[in-house]
Structure 1
Amino acid sequence: MKIGIYTLGCKVNQYETQAMEQELTARGHELVDFESPADAYIINTCSVTAVSDKKSRQMIRRAKKNSPDAVVAACGCYVQTHEEEAKSLGIDLLMGTNDRARFLDRLEEAVKTREAVADIDDALRRRTFEVLPAGGMANRTRAMLKVEDGCVNFCTYCIIPYARGPVRSLPMDKAAEQVRALCSQGYRELVVTGIEISSYGHDLKDGTTLIDLLELIAREGGEMRIRLGSLEPRTVTREFCERAKKLPTLCPHFHLSMQSGCDATLRRMNRRYDTARYYESVELLREYFDDPAITTDLITGFPEETEEEFGETLAFIEKCGFAAMHIFPYSVRPGTKAAAMAQVDMSVREERAARAAAVAERMHQGYLARCVGKTFPVLFEQDRGEGSVGHAPNYMPVTVGMKGLHNTVQNVRITAVDGDGLRGEPEET
C-alpha cells in the first residue's frame, strides 16, 4: 500500500520515522509524499510546546482532508500525553512513543479492518530500550544513532518525561552492531542522539557512561565522524574531556543545554546545575579542544523572570562566548509546574528574545571570523548553485566553488565569512 509520513519535532522523532520507513519498505509498502494520495498516513507528533500540539492536530486534520478514505495513524509525544484529545480528532490508529513494530502491525490491520484502535501504554512504567534500525537519508552522508530514550530530570517547563518515560539505554553490543553496519553502508558521519544522552548508561547499572559508548563508537566506526547531540553540563568533567580528546573522529562541536544564565531562574526551572557549574564545563572544553564550537539553547521570559534576571543572562552568554545559539521566548506547556507560575507578558518574552538574538549573532559572527585562515576537513553533503556545501567538524557550514564533492571529505582553507557560514578553497591533494 501507499503510505505518507509527516514528522514533527526533534531528532529522536526523525530517527524513529526513518526506522519506520525502513521497516515499511522491507514489508513491501510504497512511501509517498505526504501531500499525495495514499492508502494510509502516519503523523509522528510532538508535544514539547503548546504550539507543537497545535501543529500536530493541524497535520492530522490535513491528512483526513486530503484523503478522506485513507487510514490516518498518529504516534509520538502528543498522542502519548493527550490521548482523549487525540481520540476526538477521529484518528483510526493511536499509539504513543513505544513499540514501533507493533504500531506498523496495527496500521496494516487497520487498513484491512477499518476499525479504530487506541493503544497507549503508561510511559512511566517502561524499563526496556526499543532497538530500532539505525540509518539516515539516502545520500549516505550523515546517519543518526539513537542510543537513549527517556528523561527523569522533570524540568518545570517540560512534559517530555511523561511522554517518554524513564531513562533506557541502547546496550553496548547492539550499539557496536549498528555502528559497524552504518560504517559498511558508507556513511561518513554519525550523530549520537536521544532524549537525554547525558544519562546514557544510568539504567544499565554497570558503571557504563556516555564516554564509554563514544569510545566504542570510535573503535567500531572506522573513519566515520562522531557528532554529539545535546549534552547536560554535568557530563563535561575533566575525565570526560581527557578521554574525549583522544578520539580522533569526535567532532569538536558541543551543544551544552543551558536555558538560562541566571541562577534564580535555573532554580525555578529545576535545572540541575548553576551558572558556575555550567561555566566550568565551557572552560574544560576550551582547555582540551582547539576553539571548539560551543552552542546552546536559551528560553527568554520564563515565568517570574525579572529584567534584572534577564540582564544576568545576557552578561552570562557574553561571558561564555557561544558559537551559535537557539533562542526561544517561553511557551506555556499546559500540565507543567511552570504553567501555574506567574507569567511574563508575551511581548516582553519576545523583546528579550530579540535582544538575546542580537548578542548571539554578534558572537556567531565573531566565531566565524576566527575560522578564516584555518583549514578544516569538510564533509560535503550537496551541490548548491555552482559549488558544493558541507560542514566542518565544528558544524559551521562551508561553501566552495566546485561541484561534485558529495559524500567526500576535503581539506578546505577558509578564505571568508559568507553570511551565516564560511567560504573556502579546497586544498590540492
Structure 2
Amino acid sequence: ADLIGGSGDRRGFLDLLEQLARTREKAVALDDPFRRRVFEALPAGGLEGRTRAMLKVEDGCTNFCAYCIIPYARGAVRSLPVEQAAAQARDLAEAGYRELVLTGIELSAYGRDLPERPGLAALIAQVCRAVPGMRVRLGSLEPRTVTEDFCAQLAGLPNLCPHFHLSLQSGCDATLARMKRRYTTERYLESVELLRRHFDRPALTTDLIVGFPGETEGEFAQTLSFLQTCAFAQMHIFPYSRRQGTPAAGMPGQIPNGEKARRAHQGAELARAMEKSWLSSWMGQRVAVLFEEEKDGFWRGYTPQYIEVRGKGENLHNRVCPVTLTAVGEGVAFGVVTEEEAP
C-alpha cells in the first residue's frame, strides 16, 4: 500500500493523497483512536439525483462487545451538536432531498460527550421540527435506548418514520452474556412492546449473529423462538466472523463454518416467512410512497415503514404518492398509484 490512513481525519487523508501524487513517497498516517475527542463534521448528503440523504451525527463506540473490533478503531463517542445537525438538515431539505437518515457508529450514544448531554431523543425532535416537510429515519439503535420517555418524546413527531432497527444479535440470554451485550431478551422485548404501543404499526427490524462461540443447538433454538415472539418485519443475518484482537476470537467452542452456514440459512428462512407475513398484513392499505427510481418497468420507492413498493406511473422520481397495495412479491409489495403528487 502506498498510503495507509485511519478514520480520524478524513479531510486530512485527501491532503495526503494529493501529497502522494506529487512526491510518490509512501506514508502511514494513523492516530490513536482512544485519544480522539472531536467529532469530524463531514458534508452531509447523497448522490446527485437521489431522494434520501445521510446525516452522520455521531462517531465512536465504547460498548466493547466481545465480537466487535469497532471500538478499537473508532475510539470514544463524539457527537455533532444539535444546532449544527438541524442546520445541515435544513440545507438538505432546501437541496431537494425528501428523506433524511440520521446515522452514527453507535447512534444511541449520541450526546454523551456534549456539554449539556442532550441525548438522542432531543436531537431527533429538533431535527424533525427543523425540516417538517422531510421524512426523518433513524439508523440502528441499542435496544435500551427505547424507554417510555423516549417513545413519549418522539411519538408526536409526524415526520419521524415509524421504522426502528433494534440490534438483537441473539435471542438467548446465555449467548448475549458471552457476547457482552448489555441487555436480556426480557429487556429487548420490553422495547419492542413500547414501540408498538406508542407508534402506529411500526416496522421493527434487527441484526442477528448465528454461530457465536459456544452457541449450542438449544441456544440457537431459543433464538429462533424469540425471533418469532418479536415478529420482525425484516432481519439481517450474519454467521459469526472471527476478528483478531477481540475477546470472542479466543473463546472456546468455535463453531465450524458449515454449521454456521446452516444456522444462517435456517434463520434466513424464518426471516423470509416473517417478512412475507408483515407485507401481507398491508394488502389493501393505502400508503405514502417516496419514489426513487424506475427499473424494469416499475417505479420503486419506500413507505415510512421502509416497505419497498413498486408501482407504475409517469415521472414519479422524488415524489411522495398515495399507493394502494395489491400484491406481495419477494421482499417487496406491488401497488396501484391512486393519485400523483403535484410536481
Please, what TM-score do these two structures have when normalized by structure 1?
0.78
Question: Which is worse superposed, 332-341 or 203-212?
Answer: 203-212
Measured in 2, the distance between the counterparts of 1:258 and 1:265 equals: 11
* 1:50-75 residue CA offsets vs partner (Å, 9 max, x unmatched): xxxxxxxxxxxxxxxxxxxxxxxxxx
Residues 150 and 195 of structure 1 are in contact (CA less than 8 Å); yes or no, is this contact kept in structure 2? yes
Q: Which runs of 5+ in 2 are unaligned?
A: none
2:134 maps to which of 211, 221, 224: 224
Candidates 286, 307, 313, aligned match of 1:402: 313
- Which residue of structure 2 lines up, in the alignment, with residue 421 of structure 1? 332
1:138 aligns with 2:138: no
* Aligned mates of 2:81, 2:40 — CA distance in 1: 10
Runs of 4+ in 1 over 3 A off after TM superposition: none
Kindly indicate whether residue 18 of structure 2 is the aligned counterpart of residue 108 of structure 1. yes
CA contact (8 A) 2:50 2:292 kept: no
Aligned residue among 288, 293, 317 for 2:198: 288
What's 2:75 paired with? Answer: 165
User: Shift in Å at residue 423 of structure 1?
Assistant: 0.6
* Distance of 2:115 and 2:220 partners within structure 1: 40
- Cα shift at 1:287: 0.5
- Structure 2 counterpart of 1:364: 275
Kindly provide the amino acid, as one letter, of the partner of residue 361 in structure 1.
R
Could you tell me which runs of 5 or more consecutive residues in structure 1 were left unpaired when the two chains were aligned.
1-90
Cα shift at 1:418: 2.1
| Equivalent position of 1:16 in the other structure | none
Q: State the shift of 1:167 in Å.
A: 0.5
- CA deviations 1:146-195 (Å, max 9, x no partner) are 00000000000000001100100001121122111101100000011110
Match of 1:387 among 294, 298, 319: 298
Residue 315 of structure 1 corresponds to 225
Q: Is contact 2:210-2:260 (8 Å) kept?
A: yes
How far 1:290 sits from its partner (Å)?
Answer: 1.8
What amino acid maps onto 2:233 in structure 1?
A
Tell me which residue corresponds to 1:335: 245
How much identity, in percent, do the aligned residues show? 55
Checking the alignment, whether the CA contact within 8 Å between 2:323 and 2:339 is kept in structure 1 is: no
| TM superposition shift of 1:385 | 2.4
| Structure 1 position 276, deviation (Å) | 0.4
Equivalent position SS for 1:136: coil
The residue number in structure 2 matching 1:245 is 155
What RMSD in Å do the two structures reach over aligned CA positions? 1.0
Does the residue aligned with 1:121 lie in a helix, a strand or coil?
coil
Displacement of 1:102 after TM fit? Answer: 1.2
Alignment map for 1:289-308 (pairs within 5 Å): 289-308=199-218
Distance apart, 1:202 and its partner CA: 0.8
Which is worse superposed, 259-268 or 377-386?
377-386
1:352 is aligned, of 235, 260, 263, to: 263
- Checking the alignment, whether the CA contact within 8 Å between 1:183 and 1:222 is kept in structure 2 is no
- In structure 1, what residue type is equivalent to 2:325? I
Letter in 1 for 2:148: R
Paired residue for 1:193, among 88, 97, 103?
Answer: 103
Deviation of 1:207 after TM superposition, in Å, equals 3.1
Deviations 1:379-413 (A, max 9, x none): 00001122211001111110112241000000111
Aligned-pair CA distance for 1:304: 0.4
Report the secondary structure of 1:383's partner residue. strand
Aligned residues: 339
Q: Distance in 2 between matches of 1:339 and 1:363?
A: 32
1:350 & 1:394 partners in 2: Cα distance? 30
**3-state SS of paired residue (2:281):** helix
In the TM superposition, 1:64-143 aligns within 5 A as 91-143=1-53
1:210 aligns with 2:129: no
The alpha carbon displacement at 1:330 in A equals 0.7
Q: Secondary structure at the match of 2:100?
A: strand
Letter in 1 for 2:178: R
**For residues 118 and 322 of structure 1, what CA distance do their matches in structure 2 show?**
44
Q: Quick one: which amino acid aligns to residue 138 of structure 2?
A: L
Whether the 8 Å CA contact 1:386–1:402 is kept in 2: the answer is no
Q: Higher relative CO (CA 8 A, sep ≥ 6), structure 1 or 2?
A: 2
3-state SS, counterpart of residue 135 of structure 1: coil
Q: 1:260 matched to which residue of 2?
A: 170
